[in-house]
Amino acid sequence: MDNQNTMREAPQTLPNGQDLVLPWHLRLPARLEQEFREQFRDAAARLIPAASVLLLAVYGLALAIEHRMAPEVTLLSWRPRLLAVMATGAVLLISRRALPWLQPAIAAMALIVACVHIYLGLIVEHPLAAAYFYIPFLAVLALGSVFRVLLYWALPISLLILAGQAAALFGLSSLTSAESLIIFAFSSCGALMSLFGQYFFERLQRRLFLSDRVLHLHRNELHAANRTLETQASEDGLTGTVNRRGMDVRLSNLLHNMQHQARGAPDSVAVLLFDIDYFKQYNDTYGHQAGDECLKAVAEVPKAMVQRATDFVARYGGEEFVIVLGGTRLRDALVFAERMRSGIERLGIPHRNSGSNTVVTISIGVACTAPGIDTAEQLIQRADEALYQAKGQGRNRVACIDEEGVLRVLAP
């Protein structure tokens, strides 16, 4: 009873990545960390053009307002600001050509923007010069919110910017202590909120990355299981050849593609049907286990001969096998059949109760696609008729029905 309750309580579910625990520092194992950084970087690179245009527009707007209010200040500030513009342009260029350098380039750009405006705040003598000291906070905000750098770049650069701002405000600027404290408190609180949001944004991104990896693994496992099941469903367990069901599907698909002139489809298909001569007597003489070994040995010969993706060997039933050759005309199919017949004869498997030889031999019927003969049933029927004639003419030989419907038996 307890076991039944336990089974009802907890249905089995696949892990989805959300149940994986991330460390507080967010770092993943080395290989996963590298893959995540590349994925994050590539996603960030797609934002760079729009982010760069936005930042350049802000530079232009700030310069226009400054020029309207204090043209003399513009004469002093345009050169340092040009350095910030060049840094932004470099990031845009790197995002298109040198992605491995993208994250450090963005960090360097933010640092340059902050330093340029701290410098202007120190050298510009104007009642509104204190406004320059607010720009470092915008540089911190741009790191994570606009240009999307990883936290391990954003955090040290943000702290470095705040440290430089504090040193300038409290040690070098002409602002009062109260003004410096207000500006630094605003920048620090804003930077803290930005970094806090970036931390949880990156945490979410890493969880989504892990979820995707877990789903990818499940998908691969499912595909592998499906391939295994498909192989098991279409493969003969004894000989390793295609089974009857698999043969019907593959031959029908091959003929369908040929008729519809699909890409890679052959322009003709040959079917070779053969069985082992006097196989019942072989089983009666040597036993069924020896018969199984004989089937496996015989099947290995055509399996070693087929080369192309369209070619395959199938066990048709009992001791009968089918070889399908795509893109093969009748004459070439007959050459293949004779090589296979002689190859199996050369195996030298003893068969003392054979009516045609002292070793195991086969008889083969060959048929090829022709006008009016283009279905699997028609090809198998023609090959079976040819096989019947080969056996009737003494076995251990090849017979065929040509394009005109004439039956021919080849001497061994």
Residue 345 is a catalytic residue: no
Nearest Cα neighbor of 149 from 50, 52, 48 is 48
Q: Identify the active-site residue in 33, 319, 320, 385.
A: 319
Give the full edge-to-edge strand order of the sheet including 407-410: 312-317, 320-326, 269-276, 362-368, 398-401, 407-410
> How far is Cα 65 from Cα 61, in angstroms, rounded to an integer?
6
Strands 362-368 and 398-401: parallel
Q: Are 269 and 369 in contact (CB under 8 A)?
A: yes
Q: Are 148 and 95 in contact (CB under 8 A)?
A: no
Q: How far is CA 75 from the centre of its chain?
A: 56
- Geometric angle at alpha carbon 21, from 18 and 23, rounded to 5°: 135
Nearest Cα neighbor of 213 from 402, 67, 28, 23 is 28
Q: Are 362 and 396 in contact (CB under 8 A)?
A: yes
Q: Are 258 and 369 in contact (CB under 8 A)?
A: yes
- Catalytic positions, please? 319
